[in-house]
Amino acid sequence: MFRFASPQFLYLLLLIPILISLYVVFIRARARRLARFGNPDTLQQLMPEASSLRVRNKFILYLCALVLIIVGLARPQFGSKLKKVTREGIEIMLAVDVSNSMMAQDFEPTRLERTKFAIGRLLEGLKQDKVGLIVFAGDAYMQLPITSDYVTARNFANQISTNMVSRQGTAIGAAIDLATRSFSSDSEGSRVMIIISDGENHEDDAVAAAQAAAEQGIKIYTIGIGTPEGAPIAIGNDFIKDENGEMVVSKLDEKMLETIALSTDGAYIRSTNQSLGLEEIIKKINETEKKQFTSTVFDEFNEQYQYLIGAALLLLVIESLIISRKNRILARFNIFKK
């Protein structure tokens, strides 16, 4: 497998056509200036030491060296070998509420932003477990299938927004059904679901979905984010209002989330402004029976940049040894003259 460890440096290759354009402009301007003094062939005889070929070759060497340096900075790497890695862990499916109610500001800056921050912290602490991500509002959608790639998981978690699901609502049951079908076949007995929501379920029978998940050995942990007093829902600079013109206040529905968790022998935790509750849930999850997972990965990547940098330095040395003008002393020696 081939990859660039720092591909952002490849954007510097855009400098190459710019430098070539500047070189062409310089050569043409130089030719026009010389043409003012007379015929170019005559001037060439008057300036025997001048060499346009040497100037061009020096530029080509410099350009090639620059390309090699830029590609070297991008750190090309080759995966040296594949190996199967056996890990002991569990599969965790995160289901995140992205309905408009998650924009309430009883948690700063909003419930959803606090959730994203907490997920990032959770992923930093995982080592051998697998994780997936589901977003739900009026419908539920798979955001990231089960994976052990925590970097990718963090990137997907950072992109979560209320615009991901067009249909509004809080279909917790649909999220549970989707998560239940999304665990890998070899994870039986080691499956955990974490639902982060304000609990205002208006769409389906979430408890029945949780009971069906429990029959497949899935434990569901729920996190209630919000306050019982609730807060208005801000979309941009405006607050959502009902048909009477009154501001809609989103309140935490703990009863629903508690019932879901208890029906699967899981646990419910209410978030606070100091802690979302994921740390407490992870402690409970670590008591869950671990399962061995086997995955194929590249064992190591070999750096190749040093060869490119070395070749670039060699070209720069050669370029520096080539002078722009012909050497009159060396020109006197003709080793092929009979």
194 and 181 within one domain: yes
**Helix locations, 264-327, DSSP H:** 278-285, 305-321
Q: Sorting pLDDT into bands at 50, 70 and 90, what band is 336?
A: very low
How far is CA 35 from its chain centroid?
Answer: 56
Whole-number pLDDT of residue 144:
94
Q: Kindly report the CATH number assigned to the domain that includes residue 195.
A: 3.40.50.410
Task: Identify the residue whose tokens are 């955001």.
Answer: 143
In a domain, 64, yes or no: yes
Confirm if 292 and 88 have CB atoms less than 8 A apart.
yes
In a domain, 338, yes or no: no
Q: Pick from 317, 306, 330: which is nearest to 77 by CA? A: 306
Whole-number pLDDT of residue 20:
94
Whole-number pLDDT of residue 281:
84
Q: In this predicted model, what pLDDT tens digit does every residue of 29-39 receive, in sequence order?
A: 877 776 776 66
Distance separating alpha carbons of residues 143 and 154, to the nearest angstrom: 12
146 and 17 within one domain: no
User: Does the pLDDT value for residue 45 go beyond 80?
Assistant: no
158 and 45 within one domain: no
Q: Which is it for strands 130-136 and 140-147: parallel, antiparallel or unpaired?
A: antiparallel
326 and 281 within one domain: no
Whole-number pLDDT of residue 338:
44
46 and 149 within one domain: no
Non-local CB neighbours of 154 within 8 Å, separated by 6+ positions: 119, 120, 123, 124
| 145-154, 180-189, 327-336: least confidently modelled range | 327-336
In a domain, 237, yes or no: yes
Q: In this predicted model, what pLDDT tens digit does every residue of 152-170 receive, in sequence order?
A: 999 999 999 999 998 888 8
Domain extent for 14: 2-79+301-331
93, amino acid identity: M
Number of domains making up the chain: 2
DSSP, residue by residue, 73-126:
HT-EEEE--EEEEEEEE-EEEEEEE-SGGGGBSSSSS-HHHHHHHHHHHHHHH-
148 and 168 within one domain: yes
Q: What is the mean pLDDT of residues 149-154?
A: 90
